[in-house]
Amino acid sequence: TANQVFGRMSKSILPYMMAIHIGDRSIYLLALPVDTGELHYGFKKEETPSAITSTQSGSSPGSSPRNSRGSQEYTERIVQWGLKTVAVKGRLRVLSSTRLLAIEAASALAEAGPRVKMTHESALNPLDRGTKLGYLDDDDHEMEFDQRFEGGGESYADLVRRLEPCLLDIEGSVDPVLVISHVGPCRALRAYFLGYDVAKTML
């Protein structure tokens, strides 16, 4: 029980302490490819360069979807991997961002597997770069950890802070967890679980 707990203790630390447990479960981080067919900060789909580099975390499947067919194939590979995981582990918890490809992949997996529990979290969306032109997951090594992008954008510190509720969900889960997100959020979560300095990892 907790008594006379106030401020940050009641908002962050106490929920974290209540979420952690000693049970073992696998945590998979899937960073979606950059090119998902959506608008990318001023670049339309037809203006997208042909060479896009994507970052994948964990042992989840990955290929860069260039069109609707590629997106469907990508989703099918995630579903196949998820069903194999459910067959071995018994159940699977899926947390996804609210981007189109993430929703499609998570929804398809939940429909295919009756033991898959799905949740969409806007906190798992890419870093908001404000008015800066570029791609959703581009790295910007000139930015400071607490420096916000112009035009109402976020800083890397803002990204880390909004991931706290998702982290509590992951810590509190007793089932294997698949996070379908993007490079920035996956990098921050990976640093946390490996015990790395998150600020240094993001820059």
- pLDDT tens for the chain, 203 residues long, are 566 776 766 666 677 777 777 788 899 999 987 654 444 333 333 333 333 233 333 334 433 444 566 678 888 999 999 999 888 888 999 999 999 989 999 999 999 988 899 999 999 999 888 877 665 556 666 788 999 988 888 999 999 999 998 998 999 898 999 999 999 999 999 999 999 999 988 87
Tokens 């992008």 correspond to 149
Measured in whole angstroms, the distance separating CA 169 from the mean position of its chain's CA atoms is: 13
Beta strands in the chain (DSSP E): 27-31, 92-96, 116-120, 177-181
Report the predicted TM-score, pTM, of the whole model to 2 decimal places: 0.75
* Alpha-helix runs per DSSP H in 45-182: 68-89, 100-112, 156-162, 164-172
CA-to-CA distance for 151 and 24, rounded, in angstroms? Answer: 43
Q: Please list, in sequence order, all residues whose beta carbon lies within 8 angstroms of the beta carbon of residue 147, skipping any fewer than 6 positions away.
A: 155
